[in-house]
């Protein structure tokens, strides 16, 4: 163990926000997560990449218990994931999630979508919730769309509303599960730009994505998964210029040189 990693071990006690230990998950006979260990520090941006079916999205979804695990432990801010009920709702408020499909309430306006969780879960009063919602919609660049319904917005706008909605809960960590994969190419950058800004602002983020440019520029660490395991993790510079595993070399050669 190098001196650097020893020093890192010491800050770990205070700095670790999300810790997965020996996490296993099966879907029937399929072993989708195999002894996964992953620690995310406060303020860190971790981008999870790998081939389809490698377990990336499942990993992301275990962190707010959208997927239950069969073995191992997950703690957030030093507390184990609750099983169900009020505790789980509270945890999900601390763990913002942005999905591939935007999951907005179609019958509510953009503004109402961003206010709802604040009122229901955080017990904010309506006025406060509205002020905050408008500020967040401005922050993600869709403030002028507040009174429209989701169907009236482009995919990129809807996804930015979904980000604002997650931010409205003041989450400790944000999970992004392939947030741009359902978008038309010209809309991808407007969502990635918002995510880049969040990263710069110090938000703790776990991002599952195929966008290698984002991984290079915004990640503190790249985690490469294949066949349900974490094969390697490194800084973006290290990973993209000199991956240590054959599996990662093969993956990068396929996506970077076509």
Query: In a 10 Å sphere around its CB, with 0-12 CB exposed, 13-18 middle and 19+ buried, how is residue 3 labelled?
Result: exposed
Give the ranges where 54-177 is alpha helix by DSSP (H).
Answer: 56-62, 85-94, 110-120, 126-139, 155-167
Nearest to 166 by CA among 154, 175, 156, 157: 175
Q: In this structure, what is the dihedral angle of CA atoms 196, 202, 203, 209, given to the nearest 10 degrees?
A: 40
- Per the listing, tokens 């409205």 go with 168
Please state, in angstroms and as integers, the Cα–Cα distance from residue 31 to each residue in 26, 39, 227, following that order. 4, 21, 8
- In Å, how far from its chain's centre is CA 72? 20
Please state, in angstroms and as integers, the Cα–Cα distance from residue 47 to each residue in 177, 181, 254, following that order. 10, 15, 19
219-231 core/surface letters (b: 16 or more CB in 10 A; e: else): bebbbbbbebbbb
Q: Rounded to an integer, what distance in angstroms lies between the CA atom of residue 149 and that of residue 24?
A: 40
When the candidates are 3.40.109.10, 3.90.470.10, 3.40.50.300, 3.40.50.170, the CATH number that belongs to 3-256 is 3.40.50.300
Q: Rounded to an integer, what distance in angstroms lies between the CA atom of residue 36 and that of residue 65?
A: 15
- Per the listing, tokens 């591939």 go with 100
Residue 150 is predicted with a pLDDT of 97
Residue 1 is predicted with a pLDDT of 44
pLDDT in tens, the chain (258 residues): 444 444 444 334 458 999 999 999 999 999 999 999 999 999 999 999 999 889 999 999 999 899 999 999 999 999 898 877 788 878 888 999 999 988 899 999 999 999 999 998 889 999 999 999 999 999 999 999 999 999 999 999 999 999 999 999 999 999 999 999 999 998 999 999 999 999 999 999 999 999 999 999 999 999 999 999 999 999 999 999 999 999 999 999 988 764
Residue 14 is predicted with a pLDDT of 55
Residue 257 is predicted with a pLDDT of 63
- In Å, how far from its chain's centre is CA 181? 14
Query: Which are the contacts of 170, defined by CB distance < 8 A and separation ≥ 6?
Result: 122
The DSSP-derived string for 27-72 is ETTEEEEEEEEEEEETT-EEEEE-STTSSHHHHHHHTTTSS--SEE
Sheet arrangement for strand 79-80: 30-41, 16-27, 71-76, 79-80
Q: Which letter does DSSP use for residue 128 in this model?
A: H
Q: Does residue 206 contact residue 57 with C-beta atoms inside 8 Å?
A: no
Q: Which letter does DSSP use for residue 102 in this model?
A: -
Question: How many beta carbons lie within 10 A of that of residue 24, not counting itself?
Answer: 15
Q: Give the domain ranges of the chain.
A: 3-256
């Amino acid at each position: 163990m190098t001196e650097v990693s020893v020093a890192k071990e010491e800050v770990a006690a205070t700095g670790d926000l999300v810790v997965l230990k020996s996490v296993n998950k099966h879907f029937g006979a399929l072993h989708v997560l195999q002894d996964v260990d992953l620690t995310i520090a406060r303020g860190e941006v971790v981008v999870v990449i790998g081939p389809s079916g490698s377990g990336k999205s499942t990993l992301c979804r275990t962190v707010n218990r959208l997927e239950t695990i069969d073995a191992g432990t997950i703690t957030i801010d030093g507390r184990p994931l609750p099983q169900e009920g009020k505790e789980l709702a509270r945890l999900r408020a601390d763990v913002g999630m942005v999905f591939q499909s935007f999951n907005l309430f179609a019958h509510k306006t953009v503004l109402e979508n961003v206010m709802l969780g604040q009122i229901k879960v955080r017990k904010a009063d309506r006025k406060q919730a509205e002020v905050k919602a408008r500020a967040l919609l401005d922050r993600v660049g869709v403030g002028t769309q507040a009174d429209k319904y989701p169907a009236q917005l482009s995919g990129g706008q809807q996804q930015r509303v979904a980000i604002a909605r997650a931010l409205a809960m003041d989450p400790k960590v944000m999970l992004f599960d392939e947030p741009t994969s359902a978008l038309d190419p010209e809309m991808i950058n407007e969502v990635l730009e918002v995510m880049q800004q969040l990263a710069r602002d110090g938000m703790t983020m776990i991002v599952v994505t195929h966008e290698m440019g984002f991984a290079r520029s915004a990640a503190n660490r790249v985690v490469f998964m294949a066949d349900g395991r974490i094969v390697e993790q490194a800084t973006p510079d290290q990973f993209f210029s000199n991956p240590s595993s054959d599996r990662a070399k093969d993956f990068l050669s396929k996506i970077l040189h076509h």
